[in-house]
Amino acid sequence: MKLKELTEKCGLETVNGFADENKEIAGAYSSDLLSDVIANAKKDFVWITLQTHLNIIAVAALKELAAIIIVNNKEIDKDTLQKAEEEKVTLLRTGLNTFQISGKIYECGIH
Amino acid sequence: MNQRAMYSQSFTIKGGDFINAGTVSVRIKRLLKEIGLKPDIIYRAAICCYEAEMNVVMYANEATLDFTITVENITVKLSDKGPGIKNIELAMKEGYSTATEKMREMGFGAGMGLPNIKNNADVFEIESEIAKGTIISFKINLNGKH
């Protein structure tokens, strides 16, 4: 499934536009521990997290993730938005919590 | 420069600089892409560099990262000035961390940093002296299976 399609199906808010809306999503990973994501997320995954500080951008850039999905409608730091722009990392947001959005994404066929 | 070295560069990493944390790793990754190394190699090198870089940001005062590519491997040596590691065996244990509460809130301190380097590198060495600093070296082979 393409990133744009997932965004629409799950009602995700696009925070900074898409770096690549046609990116084919390879999977998803839910975690708030950065080293855990570094170890276990894979290229073109979406990463579901409640972390909003700027260090999440380097993780997404290094792992070549398709997008970061911020849960609980958490406000995103200005530094984070700027860094996301620089590194061309797509930020999406949802009012759902990690459990709920993970379930929804799973239901969309991403396992 | 080593005679067989195709490329080498040194970077400085500042302790406590969370704003630029990860920048050196992202730069190294770009460099490896430009050189045209295999994606799997780049991926593993990037993970190792990131974890090593974050360790400096979180625990040390300053560090120099020396990065060399030869026809055989990527070698990274990171020497920091810092408190050193009391118990290396413990530090290598997955889940063990001395991160502060604040760092943990940010999602650091999972106790996976050094194990992540060890798992992704082909050679990994660490030595440390209390109140002086820590030296981490790792190699990633360009040919052959990990």
pLDDT digits (tens, 9 = 90+) for A89-109: 999 999 999 999 999 999 999
Which residue's entry shows tokens 């536009």?
A17
Instruction: Spell out the domain ranges in chain A.
Output: 3-107
Write out residues in chain A with pLDDT < 50, as ranges.
none
Query: d(Cα A46, Cα A90) in Å, to the nearest integer?
Result: 10
Position B2 pLDDT exceeds 70: no
Share of chain B above pLDDT 90, in %: 93
Query: Is B124 in contact with B77 (CB distance < 8 Å)?
Result: no
Range B25-40 average pLDDT:
95
Predicted local confidence at residue B3, as pLDDT: 54
Given the candidates 3.20.20.70, 2.40.30.10, 3.30.565.10, 3.40.50.150, the CATH classification of the domain at B5-141 is 3.30.565.10
CB-CB neighbors (< 8 A) of A55 in chain B: 18, 21-22, 106-108
- Cβ within 8 Å, pair B110-A54: no
Predicted local confidence at residue B5, as pLDDT: 80
Complex prediction ipTM: 0.88
- Cβ within 8 Å, pair B107-A34: yes
CB-CB neighbors (< 8 A) of A54 in chain B: 18-19
pLDDT digits (tens, 9 = 90+) for B113-135: 999 999 999 999 999 999 999 99
Helix/strand/coil percentages in chain B, nearest 5: 35, 30, 35
- Please name the residue of chain B whose CA is at the shortest distance from the CA of residue A43: B43
- Cβ within 8 Å, pair A43-B21: no
Please give, rounded to a whole number of angstroms, the shortest distance from the CA of A51 to a CA of chain B: 7
Query: Is B84 in contact with B22 (CB distance < 8 Å)?
Result: no
Q: What angle do CA B13, B16, B19 make, to 5 degrees?
A: 80
Position B1 pLDDT exceeds 70: no
CB-CB neighbors (< 8 A) of B116 in chain A: 35, 38-39
Query: d(Cα B99, Cα B105) in Å, to the nearest integer?
Result: 10
Range B8-32 average pLDDT:
96
Looking at every residue in chain A, the average pLDDT score rounds to 97
Predicted local confidence at residue B4, as pLDDT: 74
Instruction: Spell out the domain ranges in chain B.
Output: 5-141
Position B111 pLDDT exceeds 80: yes
In CATH, which superfamily holds the domain spanning A3-107?
HprK N-terminal domain-like (3.40.1390.20)
